[in-house]
Structure 1
Amino acid sequence: MGNKKIEWILRIAVAGEFLGHGMFAIQGKESWIGWVTKLTNVDIGTATTILILVGIMDILVALIVLFRPIRAVLLWAVFWGFFTALLRPIVGDPIWDFIERWANWGAPL
């Protein structure tokens, strides 16, 4: 398999991940609102607004990665993917929820 084909597979995978998570955030996924309120001590309305903004950013990352990858945006995707995966055990989910999300931050590398 050529490098260009591998690059496109990874670009599509990362874009899909960020688009999907962005839509979940914009839709106000209930468990994520709970995580934001738990970690930041804000009310549900503020947590929902934060998630909408995060969702918009995730969708922008998806589009940039898919159509015109920029190194800084890919590095952000690595950081954000790692951070959000790490949140799982922080909010009480099993460590395996972090481990199974390694691709979320590994693929943009």
Structure 2
Amino acid sequence: MTKDFFTALKDRRSYYGISKEQVISDQRIQEIVEEAVKYTPTSFNSQTSRAVVLLGEHHDKLWNITEDILREVVGNEEQFKSTAEKMNGFRSGYGTVLFFEDNNVVAGLQQ
């Protein structure tokens, strides 16, 4: 059983079928993310998780800014090609959810 589990972990891959198509309402996306953040376990039950939901032009703006910054960091356009492909893949989605964990609160609880 353990060998099968580890094999499954090693063989796991993510396959993305990302598109700009809206399949559920923006309000429903917001509700799902709020429930996920509210009921996901946290260290010491600190409830320090936060999320930002970016849809439409805000989603595109995030990935445009990210690409611009990474392009400057890499500097070489040839080396940047694979990163640009990733950015285009992320940008091609309907939205982005950014999850944050406030480690200062967790660290304060541990002291």
| Same fold at TM > 0.5 | no
Q: Which has the higher contact order (CA 8 A, sep 6+)?
A: 2
| Structure ID, larger Rg | 2
> More helix per residue: 1 or 2?
1
TM-score by length of 1: 0.33
> More strand per residue: 1 or 2?
2
TM-score by length of 2: 0.32
